[in-house]
Amino acid sequence: MKQTNRTLSVLLAILMLFSVATTAFAAGGNGGGSTALTVQSATINDTPVAEATEIHGNDTILLTFSGNVTDSSVWVSNSGKIQLKDGSGNAASISLTTPGGKKVGVVLGNLAKATYTLTIGKEFKDTNGNTLGAKYELTFTVNKGNGSGTGGGNGESPLELVSVKAGDKDLAGAELEPSGTITITFSRGMDENQAANFEKIGIYDKDGKKVANVSFSDFQKPDVNSKGSYTVLTYKNLATGEYTLKIGKDVKANNNHTLEKAVNITFTVKDKDDEKVNFIRSLLDSIADFFKKVIDFFKGLLSK
C-alpha cells in the first residue's frame, strides 16, 4: 500500500508540473502577471498635467504606463475603460491614439472651459495580465479656448472631428481586416473643399510611408437636417502590422473653418494566422483543464 501511495504521489507531481506549463503557454508564456500596472506619467506637451498652466480644449494628454497596454490582445478591452466626464458627471468628448506600447494619447474633443475628470477602470491591464487594481482618476481644468480665426474655439461654427469608425467600432486601437472601410465624420459640411481635404487625409505605415491603395467617397450628410458630413475611406490589401490614420490640421469645412490641430489615430491590421493561434491556445486550455480534473481525481485517491 505504501508503494502504491508513493507511485501515485510521483504521478500526481508530474501531472501538476505539466498542467502548469501548459496553462502558462496557453496564456502567452507568462501565466498572468503579479506586479500591479501603474500610470507612470500624465503630460500635456511634455509638462505634467498637474503643473500645466494652460490647457486648451483640444490638447492631448499623453499617458505612460509601466507595461504594454496597447497591444491588439488587450487594447479592444482597455480602450473602453478610459472615460472623461465634466463636473456634472456628463460624458465629454475624447478620442484615443496609441503612439507606443506603453503610451496612450487622450485627444480632448474641443472641450469648453471647465473642470473635467479622466477615469481609467481598475481592470485596465497590460499584456502580462497585470491590472491597475484600483480606479485611476485625473482631474484638470480647461482654461483656454482652441484658438481663433478659421479654426475651432472662438469661431461661430468651429470644425470638429465627430468620429472615426471602422464598422461600429472606434478606429483607435482597432484590429482590422487587410481590406475594408473607415468612416470619418466631421461636424460641418465638407463637400466644397473635398478634393483638397482628401489630400490631407491618409493612412501611413509604421515607417511613415503613405499607403497608396486608398480612396474616398464624396462627402455626404448623415441625415437631411444634419450640419455635419462624412466620407468613407476604402483601403485595400494592407500587410499585417500597425498603421496610423492622419488627418491634417488644415482640412477645411464649407464655412472655411479648419481643425487647427492634426489628428493621428493608430490601428492594426491583423495577421491571417491569428485564428490558428487562437485555436491552438483554446486546445491547450482544454488539455490543461483535463489534467486538472485528473489531478483532482488522484488527490481524492491519496486522501483515502
Mind listing the pLDDT tens digit for each residue in 150-172?
444 444 457 899 999 998 889 99
Place of cell 473635467: 116
200 three-class SS: coil
pLDDT score, position 152: 43
pLDDT score, position 143: 87
Strand (E) or helix (H) holding 63: strand 60-65
Q: Which of 69-83, 209-223, 248-262, 282-296 has the lowest mean pLDDT?
A: 282-296
% of residues, the chain, pLDDT over 70: 80
Q: Which of 106-110, 295-299, 300-304 has the lowest mean pLDDT?
A: 300-304
β-pair type (60-65, 47-48)? unpaired
Residue 266 CA to its chain's centroid (Å):
8
273, pLDDT greater than 60 = no
pLDDT score, position 46: 86
Q: Which of 5-9, 34-38, 72-76, 269-273 has the lowest mean pLDDT?
A: 5-9
**How far apart are the C-alpha atoms of 187 and 246, rounded to whole Å?**
18
Instruction: Give whole-number Cα distances, 57 to 113, 144, 146, in Å.
Output: 7, 7, 6
Calculate the average pLDDT of the chain: 82
191, pLDDT greater than 70 = yes
Q: Which CATH number fits domain 33-145: 3.40.50.300, 3.40.50.720, 3.40.50.2300, 2.60.40.1220?
A: 2.60.40.1220
Mean pLDDT of 283-296: 77
Level-2 CATH architecture, domain 151-272: Sandwich (2.60)
Span 134-151, pLDDT tens digits = 999 999 999 876 543 344
% of residues, the chain, pLDDT over 90: 49
pLDDT score, position 177: 92
279, pLDDT greater than 80 = no
282, pLDDT greater than 80 = no
Q: Which of 5-9, 83-87, 210-214, 240-244 has the lowest mean pLDDT?
A: 5-9
pLDDT score, position 168: 86
Residue 288 CA to its chain's centroid (Å):
31
Cell numbers that stand for 224 in this block: 437631411
Sheet strands (E) in 127-238: 136-142, 161-166, 169-170, 175-176, 180-186, 201-205, 214-216, 229-235
**How far apart are the C-alpha atoms of 32 and 301, rounded to whole Å?**
31
79, pLDDT greater than 50 = yes
181 three-class SS: strand
131, pLDDT greater than 90 = yes
pLDDT score, position 226: 77
Band of pLDDT at residue 15, cut at 50, 70 and 90: low
Band of pLDDT at residue 220, cut at 50, 70 and 90: very high
Band of pLDDT at residue 288, cut at 50, 70 and 90: confident
pLDDT score, position 277: 56
pLDDT score, position 6: 60
pLDDT score, position 151: 44
